[in-house]
Structure 1
Amino acid sequence: MTYFATQLTPIGPFTTIVDTDDVVLASGWTAEPEDLRPLIHPRIRPTELHVRTELGNVTRAVAAYHDGAIDAIDDIAVQQHSGEFLEHAWKILRAVPAGAPITYSAFAELSGRPAAVRGAASACARNAAALFVPCHRVLRIGGNLGGFRWGLPAKRWLLDHENAAATRV
């Protein structure tokens, strides 16, 4: 069985889809789980979603993150499928520290393919598990935001939130 829950955050409703082991399959700032389901790789995409009021540790981590504990999301398990490069790139994204965004070029280099800047951008665009795989921490050269599935105001809020929390430490 696959479950979803939606919770309110300072930047809008946030929905998370998890499997029976509470592994995140997809997430993002939407109240509609059907906005997320198509983002899940067909091999693991659920045919049915069952609503829950909360998802235990996942719901608590999302709330804690938005309340300022920016590392609360770090230990939440995520499952995404694609080709070898994208899966590796998503793992690399999880290691980008909050408050220290990188450029797409630096992300490509960290992912082991310095010339694959478009591939790095594609990894961000195809990321189904927003927040838990923090693609919002990747910027264009010069610090421009670039794109973000959930909107540039959300990306700006996340970066400002993480920067403020990181400077408090």
Structure 2
Amino acid sequence: MTRLDSSIHHVSVSTPDGPFSVVANDSHVLASGWTWDIAALLKLIHPELREFTGESAPDAGAPPAPVRAPGPAGRASVLDQAAEAVAAYYAGDTAAVDGVPVKQRSGPFREQAWEVLRQVAPGAPLTYAGYAERAGRPRAVRAAAGACAMNAAALFVPCHRVIRTDGGLGGFRYGVQIKESLLRREAAPAPSLRADPRPESPAR
């Protein structure tokens, strides 16, 4: 079992696309995705942002008990904010997740690319090539696809809004069916399911 630092908390909620879990510290979401498996989410977090010294993460396969961070007096915790944003997203406010604070660590390009992802509006997906250009490195299509593949904070950092140049969905860590569902929910013209079996793959 993975040990959680006392400042790291998690919550899981049900959605039409399956269980959605969030791992956060006291100020930011660190990882999220359509799974009950908190230990798997913890592995996505950069080592600088996590320390496994406290509570045990639940085993995969069973819904974990929510562990919520106590928010400052009069203010909801980051986990409460994230859970409310996910509920609002699935209720039709697809921009609700935009304001949830997220922290990820990597190299300069990847961190910049993740910030760019947060600016991609619902219903206006980019191709991997267009994403690379918007991130400031138009020839770095594979690096841009890598930023999608390594994104730990799914939905809040919307890597599902990047698709292949050839019209296919590309890959998605939580399955292309969920990616298609999200794009349809956001009123985007979701491409046909021509998925790469890998978590993410660059456009060709």
TM-score, normalised to structure 2, is: 0.77
Alignment partner of 1:95 is 2:119:
yes
1:121 match:
145
TM-score, normalised on structure 1?
A: 0.92
Q: Specify which structure has the higher proportion of helix.
A: 1
> How much has 1:53 moved relative to structure 2?
6.0
Q: Find the structure with the greater CA-based Rg.
A: 2
Does residue 17 of structure 1 match 2:32? no
Other-structure match for 1:45: 50
Q: Give the whole-Å Cα distance in 2 for the aligned partners of 1:158 and 1:138.
A: 12
Match of residue 31, structure 1, among 36, 54, 61: 36
Q: Which has the higher contact order (CA 8 A, sep 6+)?
A: 1
In structure 1, what is the Cα distance between the partners aligned to 2:97 and 2:139? 30
AA matched with 1:9: T
Q: Which runs of 4+ in 1 moved over 6 A?
A: none
Report percent identity of matched pairs: 50
**Are 2:29 and 1:5 equivalent residues in the alignment?**
no
Paired AA for residue 81 in structure 1:
R
SS for the counterpart of 1:119 is helix
1:107 aligns with 2:131: yes
Task: Quote the offset at 1:143 in angstroms.
Answer: 2.3
Displacement after TM superposition at 1:46 (Å): 3.4
How many residue pairs align between the two structures? 163
Q: Is the 8 A contact 2:102 2:156 kept in 1?
A: yes
**Residues 24, 31 of structure 2: 8 Å contact kept:** yes
Counterpart selection for 1:63 from 80, 84, 87: 87
